[in-house]
Amino acid sequence: MLASFLSIITVLNFYFISNRARLSVDIISENNVLDSYNYSSIEENELDNNVETSIINSNEWSIEIPKIGLKAEISEGTDQDTLNYYVGHFNETALWNGNVGLAAHNRGYNVNYFNRLKELGTGDEIIYIYQGNCRKYKVNYAEVIKETDWENLNATKDNRITLITCVEDEPEFRRCVQAIEIKEE
């Protein structure tokens, strides 16, 4: 009986992993993933009632960057298993209100979502969708930072999104793009 149960679990696990493989992501570091950051605890605020409602599935969690043709699903965590299929969310950063931190591969993997992140500049638009709500951001910062410089992921009072990936052939650096919420009037 135990052998049958384990066989069923193995088949289900294979099925779910296979279905996740349809996505594409991008690299954070050569040999490790971005879980060395010492996060501060951030409490999540409730979703605003005045955000633009998305026409997509209310359970979807995704990011879109029109300039570079990016449309990708997001999943919790920045471990290797997550980044092999999704854009990863730094689990100690905000999900909606505050600073949303995301990471992805940019080369060398089946999925390289942030492969064109270096093309973004001031004023470019980023669209973030969470629980059926949509928020738009405008890039105000795009720099290369040290791999140990995690201050851009700190909690903020304003709504922003921070995207981080590695820098090709420079494992001691990371590319960081940050954008501030566009206030619709």
Convert the pLDDT of each residue in 134-164 to its tens digit. 999 999 999 999 999 999 999 999 999 999 9
119 vs 47: which has the higher pLDDT: 119
pLDDT at 59: 63
pLDDT at 49: 35
pLDDT of 113 over the 80 cut: yes
pLDDT at 1: 45
What length is written for the chain? 185
pLDDT of 86 over the 60 cut: yes
pLDDT at 26: 32
CA gyration radius, the chain: 17
DSSP state of 54: P
* Alpha-carbon span 50 to 35, nearest angstrom: 33
Mean pLDDT (the chain) is 78
Task: Decide: 138 and 73 in contact? Cβ < 8 Å.
Answer: no
pLDDT of 115 over the 90 cut: yes
Q: What is the three-class DSSP state of 37? A: coil
DSSP state of 172: T
* Alpha-carbon span 68 to 80, nearest angstrom: 24
* Alpha-carbon span 81 to 91, nearest angstrom: 15
Q: What is the three-class DSSP state of 161? A: strand
CATH of domain 24-181: 2.40.260.10
* Alpha-carbon span 66 to 59, nearest angstrom: 21
Instruction: Report how far apart the first and last C-alpha atoms of the chain are (Å, whole number).
Output: 62
Question: Whose structure tokens read 């730094």?
Answer: 90
What's phi and psi for 20, nearest 5 deg? -75, -20
pLDDT at 184: 78
DSSP state of 23: S
78 vs 2: which has the higher pLDDT: 78
Element containing residue 8 per DSSP (H, E): helix 2-20
* Alpha-carbon span 51 to 46, nearest angstrom: 12
